[in-house]
Amino acid sequence: MVVKVYKNADEIGKAIGTVFASQVIEKPDCVLGLATGSSPIPTYKYMISLYEEGIVDYSKVTTFNLDEYVGLNHDHDQSYWYFMHENLFNSINIPEEQINVLSGTAEDVEAECEAYEAKIEAAGGIDLQILGIGNNGHIAFNEPTTYFPMATHKVALTESTIEANKRFFASADDVPRYAVSMGIGSIFKAKNIVLVATGAAKADAVAAMVNGPIDPNCPASILQLHSHVTIFCDEAAAAKL
Ligand code: F6R
């Protein structure tokens, strides 16, 4: 695990955006694993600027997103499908059929999760995965529990996550209680992982992930065992390292 500390979120966005650009230039038909939330936004902005300047062509890229809220369809402005289109896909040139986001409204959730895993495998696995980290140490929506959930699955969100995400909804009551999420095993198969953590609220989770025991109570701690992980923190998030 390599930890890099930057001055602010924009510097991190440029640094990780550069990693993404290198990946796409080296392997134009690569598979990118993408996240939602505040953390990846500066990276997506930088990726868009490189596209607008004609430096990076994303037309052969395939993407898989980490997770989606159960019950929200594409039109809901808090669905992760909507977020990804607003913050990245509408501004670059990945063909829609190469974009994959778990459905939050599938009738058979288990079948949806199995099909998603199979589709990642069939695409050759994820070359580069971006992650955020929850205040409680979650990655994707793998919440703290007594085991590491391996495959893509439906998950009940914890109070801590509902509390952290209510800023995007009218009230905490409007935050969906369930999500579908890639599992720890699905994430672990990515060849290269970059994780963004900014702000003081992430400092405990970052310290537990990097220096704590490998423990499903801090799901991100499993990343200590991955062979190619880089953690990009600002000073506030790195304060307890
Ligand atoms: C989002 C996701 C979550 C977030 C995490 C941090 O797709 O998988 O694990 O990365 O909750 O969220 P932000 O970046 O909003 O602090």
Q: What is the pLDDT of residue 101?
A: 98
C-alpha closest to that of 22 among 194, 226, 224: 194
Q: Cβ contacts of residue 51 below 8 Å, gap of 6+?
A: 57, 58, 91, 92, 93
Q: For each of the chain's 241 residues, which pLDDT tens digit applies?
A: 999 999 999 999 999 999 999 999 999 999 999 999 999 999 999 999 999 999 999 999 999 999 999 999 999 999 999 999 999 999 999 999 999 999 999 999 999 999 999 999 999 999 999 999 999 999 999 999 999 999 999 999 999 999 999 999 999 999 999 999 999 999 999 999 999 999 999 999 999 999 999 999 999 999 999 999 999 999 999 999 9
With a 6 Å cutoff on the Cβ, whether 233 touches ligand 1 is no
Q: What is the pLDDT of residue 145?
A: 94
Q: What spacing in Å lies between the alpha carbon of 139 and ligand 1's midpoint?
A: 7
Q: What is the pLDDT of residue 119?
A: 98
Q: What is the pLDDT of residue 203?
A: 98
Query: Which atom of ligand 1 is least distant from the CA of 36?
Result: 7
Q: What spacing in Å lies between the alpha carbon of 43 and ligand 1's midpoint?
A: 14
Active site residues: 67, 136, 138, 143
With a 6 Å cutoff on the Cβ, whether 37 touches ligand 1 is yes
In angstroms, the first-to-last Cα distance of the chain is 13
Question: d(Cα 58, Cα 68) in Å, to the nearest integer?
Answer: 23
Q: What is the pLDDT of residue 157?
A: 94
Q: What is the pLDDT of residue 86?
A: 98
With a 6 Å cutoff on the Cβ, whether 36 touches ligand 1 is yes
Question: d(Cα 127, Cα 35) in Å, to the nearest integer?
Answer: 14
With a 6 Å cutoff on the Cβ, whether 202 touches ligand 1 is no
Q: What is the pLDDT of residue 147?
A: 96
